[in-house]
Amino acid sequence: MNELMMIPLIARIRSIREVTFDTLMFEVAIEKDGKEVPFSYLPGQFAELSVFGVGESPISITSTCTRPGLVEFAVREVGLVTEAMHNMRPGDNMGIRGPLGNGFPVDEMKGKDILFIAGGIGLAPLRGLINYVLDNRSDFGAVDIIYGARAPNLLCFDWEFDTWKAAPDTRVHLTIDAPAAGWNGSVGFVPAIVKELALPPGNRLAVACGPPIMIKYVLEDLAAAGYRDEDVITTLEMKMKCGVGKCGRCNIGAKYICVDGPVFRLSELKTIPSEY
Amino acid sequence: MTVIGYMKRSALEGVLGDISDKLEVIAPLPSGDKGAVELRRFEKGAQVSIGPVKPMLPLKTIFLPPVEQIFRFSKSENETTVTASTPITRDRVVFGALGCDIAALALIDEVFLREPVDEAYRERRTRTTIVALACEGQGPECFCASVGIDPVRPGGADVVMIPVKDGFIVETITKKGEQLGTMLQGALRDPTGPQKKTARSFTSTSRSDVDLSAPAGGWSAVWESEAWEDASARCIGCGICTVVCPTCHCFDVHDERHGNGGERFRKWDSCMAVNFTMMAHGENPRPQHRARVRQRYMHKLVYFPENHGAVACVGCGRCAVACPNRTGIGEVADRMREREEDSNE
Ligand SMILES: Cc1cc2nc3c(=O)[nH]c(=O)nc-3n(C[C@H](O)[C@H](O)[C@H](O)COP(=O)(O)OP(=O)(O)OC[C@H]3O[C@@H](n4cnc5c(N)ncnc54)[C@H](O)[C@@H]3O)c2cc1C
Ligand code: SF4
């Protein structure tokens, strides 16, 4: 358990791919005592990635456990640790502790239609779940993906869109905030597209990830459309250091985002103070 | 076998000196020349301050040091080697621990010994024998008796020393305590009848009338309580209450680089600090002073009980003594419940 509790394994960078101008995706192999070791996880879990000598940050696992091998993380440069990550090269070592957090309730999601709603880098945790669902296509019902960003070049993981569109009974609805040259998809904020599409609840679960302001409106719209709180799933982000429920900073009420989350149903969120 | 005996006060330093050949000995020692006391390593020749002064910092410092190295790393071309730090090198004994501080360890255990176990903390816990000093109450701030703690024979102690005239009655309680008992044997005499009687009737002045209970209804019943307004208006946000608190255990993690290597360490942190929850992109769920004060008291009085079944306060009173405006958790809890009663009317 040491690799969870403060002592990291090595994550060796195999390749780095540009996701947007400020976000890079790292494909890493996990090593223990100099040997590559398997790393199993669930969609929606995260890891504490570190740059030795700089610090540690929680980052969602964006690859899917249905495709064993390298593990993928998409990192947006916002501060000290993420900047240091952006200066790394293939072959370099990060530290890794994980997988951490609860992950999405994939077993309970089986048999359901799923509406994925994401904004910006919020697609990172959802990408692993979407690929999990599509890799187990017959276990799930209809799939709709609403994804938006401020501008076309800020859409993350654009190389996935054609594959997702080609999957059976799967639709991808892309949107950007304002008109842009060469863009012929939807224009408008994510919540507006959610309203416009008006997918009825029925047997459908909604899974939403994105900036807090987007989530706020999306949750309101889903409630207005008749979605039950148990059928709306989202993730919370809080500053954290240990990722294992001990450093004491990621709690909202009695829940610790690192161990009780980061994935919550809206029905659970209604039982804790709305500090997030 | 349980060991019970009488030890002369004047023998104590000698006994600790002998034990220090075998174990690391930690005891309350004078800190500066103003009568303050701190728990630190006992070296032969030192004078122990066993008496009516509470150590400034609680017993937790022995198990969760204020700053602690987690690991060292070294880098060569393409390899990084991580070496976990050794938390302690010798078995240890703490003499003169107080009931409140010992009870706090059981609360910290709830967090640090659950999966995934904090190995450094566990190693310090399992390799340390705790010798309690029966406490007669150390001033008006003490209210451990209000939160179910026995200040005379506190749960969690391996050995108890009960002050009697010119010495102590020593009683071993646990297996670990019995092992230490064998090292104490030489200094113990059979207690006399009056000594036994004094030990049996030893009592504490700790207040038992402080009510830290939360009203039914959990957090939502007190979320908008005026207690937070009042407490935050007086609070200067210094965070000394979290430093001296025996149950506060929040920490921050930092890296340092030295040449081709470096270290990661953790250090105490405080929920009273504005950047405690400040995120990289500028969002902060608790930007207001009031929200942080509420978090501190709610964690002790509502969230911790919800998760672990006990309030995270052991009644040592250090926060009220250290606080520049003397805010005590008891008054805050009273005010918190008052609000609820008001709104029920
Ligand atoms: C469960 C979870 C999943 C996340 N997934 C991703 C992801 O897939 N991609 C991505 O780019 N970002 C993700 N984040 C946000 C990311 O953790 C922060 O942007 C990052 O920690 C900032 O670190 P920094 O050192 O660059 O910034 P600094 O401002 O220098 O932060 C210093 C330290 O504070 C802590 N910290 C600061 N902001 C945050 C934050 N928002 N959340 C948690 N800890 C923080 C970290 O320990 C960080 O190292 C996630 C956060 C959480 C909680
Ligand atoms: S010691 Fe007093 S002033 Fe300082 S943070 Fe605590 S309550 Fe506020």
Find all residues with CB under 8 Å of A33, minimum gap 6, and list them: none
Query: What percent of chain A lies above the pLDDT cut of 70?
Result: 99
Q: Do both A82 and A24 map to the same domain?
A: yes
What is the C-alpha to C-alpha distance for residues A136 and B52, in angstroms, rounded to an integer? Answer: 68
B191 shares its domain with B246: no
As a whole number, mean pLDDT of residues A222-250 equals 94
More confident call, A4 vs A233: A233
pLDDT digits (tens, 9 = 90+) for B178-189: 999 999 989 999
Please indicate, yes or no, if residue B102 is contained in any of the structural domains.
yes
Of the three residues A85, A100, A115, the one that is the final residue of a domain is: A100
pLDDT tens digits along A89-145: 999 999 999 999 999 999 999 999 999 999 999 999 999 999 999 999 999 999 999
Q: Are residues A76 and A32 in the same domain?
A: yes
- Tens-digit pLDDT profile for residues A241-252: 999 999 999 999
CB of B281 less than 8 A from some CB of A: yes
Interface check for B286 against chain A (CB to CB < 8 A): the answer is yes
- Tell whether A84 and A132 lie within a shared domain: no
Choose one of A100, A118, A152: the last residue of a domain: A100
How many angstroms away from the CA of B301 is the closest CA of chain A? 11
Contact between A164 and A172 (Cβ < 8 Å): yes
| A142 and A206 together in one domain | yes
- Return the pLDDT at A276: 74
Same domain, yes or no, for B255 and B333?
yes
**pLDDT tops 60 at residue A200:** yes
A47 and A137 within one domain:
no
Kindly state whether residues B132 and B241 are assigned to the same domain: no
Q: Let me know whether B236 and B193 are in one domain.
A: no
Is B139 a domain residue?
yes
Residue range of the domain that includes B326: 219-344
Token pair, residue B305, equals 């009980």
Task: Judge if A130 and A168 occupy the same domain.
Answer: yes
Residues A119 and A9 reside in one and the same domain = no
pLDDT by residue for chain B (345 residues), tens digit each?
Answer: 677 899 999 999 999 999 999 999 999 999 988 888 999 999 999 999 987 789 999 999 999 999 999 999 999 888 999 999 999 999 999 999 999 999 999 999 999 999 999 999 999 999 999 999 999 998 889 999 999 999 999 999 999 999 999 999 999 999 999 999 999 989 999 999 999 999 899 999 999 999 998 888 889 888 988 889 989 999 999 999 999 999 999 999 999 999 999 999 999 999 999 899 999 888 888 988 999 999 999 999 999 999 999 999 999 999 999 999 998 899 999 888 885 555 544
Sort out which chain A residues have CB atoms less than 8 A from B251's CB and list them: 241-242, 246-248
CB contact under 8 A, B286 and A251: no
| Cut 0.90: pTM above it | yes
Tell me the shortest Cα–Cα distance from A20 to chain B, in angstroms.
Answer: 17
Looking at the structure of chain B, the number of domains it has is: 2
Task: Convert B305-337 to b/e letters by CB count within 10 Å (16 or more is b).
Answer: bebbebbbbbbbbbbbbbbeeebbbbebbebbb
Residue found under tokens 């964006």: A62
Cβ within 8 Å, pair A241-B251: yes
Domain count along chain A:
2
Q: Residue whose CA is closest, atom 42 of ligand 1?
A: A239
Is B212 among the domain residues? Answer: no
Chain B segment 253-272 residues within 8 A of A by beta carbon are 253-257, 262, 264, 266, 269, 271
Q: Do A92 and A27 lie in a common domain? A: yes
Q: Which of B167, B201, B235 is the last residue of a domain?
A: B201
- Facing A273 at nearest CB: one of B223, B249, B281: B223
Q: Do B118 and A253 touch (CB under 8 A)?
A: no
B253 vs A242: CB contact, 8 Å cut-off? yes
Using pLDDT thresholds of 50, 70 and 90, give the confidence band for residue A4: low
Say yes or no for a CB contact (<8 Å) between A252 and B285. Answer: yes
Nearest to A129 by CA among A1, A263, A2: A263
Each residue of B26-80: pLDDT tens digit? 999 999 888 889 999 999 999 999 877 899 999 999 999 999 999 999 998 889 9
* B251 lies within 8 A of chain A by CB: yes
**CATH number assigned to the domain comprising residue A113:** 3.40.50.80
Which residues, 6 or more positions from B259, have their beta carbon under 8 angstroms from its beta carbon? none
Residue B9 CA to its chain's centroid (Å):
25
CA A224 – CA A275 distance, rounded (Å) = 22
Q: Are residues A65 and A165 in the same domain?
A: no
pLDDT of residue A84: 97
Residues B247, B190 share a domain: no
Question: Are both A205 and A133 inside the same structural domain?
Answer: yes
Residue B208 domain-assigned? no
B209 in a domain, yes or no?
Answer: no
Nearest CA to ligand 1 atom 8: A60
Asked whether residue B177 falls in the same domain as residue B324, the answer is: no
For residues B242 and B118, membership in a common domain is answered with: no
Average pLDDT of the residues in A188-216: 93
Residue minimizing CA distance to atom 4 of ligand 2? B238
Residues 6+ apart with CB under 8 A from A161: A172, A174
Residue B29 in domain: yes
Q: Which domain holds residue A50?
A: 3-100
Q: How far apart (Å, rounded) are the C-alpha atoms in residues B137 and B157?
A: 17
- DSSP assignment of A220-232: HHHHHTT--GGGE
Interface with A, mutate which of B76, B245, B250 (most A CBs under 10 A): B250
- Are B49 and B37 in contact by the 8 Å Cβ rule? The answer is yes
Q: Which residues, including other chains, have CB under 8 Å from residue A151's CB and lie 6 or more apart?
A: A176, A177, A178, A180
Q: Looking at the structure, do residues A114 and A192 belong to the same domain, yes or no? A: yes
If asked whether residues A210 and A129 sit together in one domain, one would say: yes
Query: Do B60 and B104 lie in a common domain?
Result: yes
pLDDT class for A201, splitting at 50, 70, 90?
very high
Q: Are residues B249 and B294 in the same domain?
A: yes
> What ipTM was estimated for this complex?
0.91
Domain containing A16 — which CATH number?
2.40.30.10
CA of A132 relative to ligand 1 center, distance in Å: 24
CA-closest candidate to residue A54, choices A84, A11, A15, A87: A84
- The pLDDT score that the predictor gives to residue A98 is 94
Q: How far apart are CA B85 and CA B121, in angstroms?
A: 12
Residue ending a domain, among A82, A100, A118, is A100
Question: Are B90 and B238 part of one and the same domain?
Answer: no
DSSP string, A155-189: -TTGGGHHHHHHSTTEEEEEEESS--TT--SEES-
Using the mean position of ligand 2's atoms as its centre, give its distance from the Cα of residue A250 in Å.
21
For residue B339, the model assigns a pLDDT of 52
For ligand 2, whether the C-beta of B14 sits within 6 Å is no
- Residue B308 shares a structural domain with residue B172: no
Residue B214 lies in a domain: no
Pair (B173, B64) in one structural domain:
yes
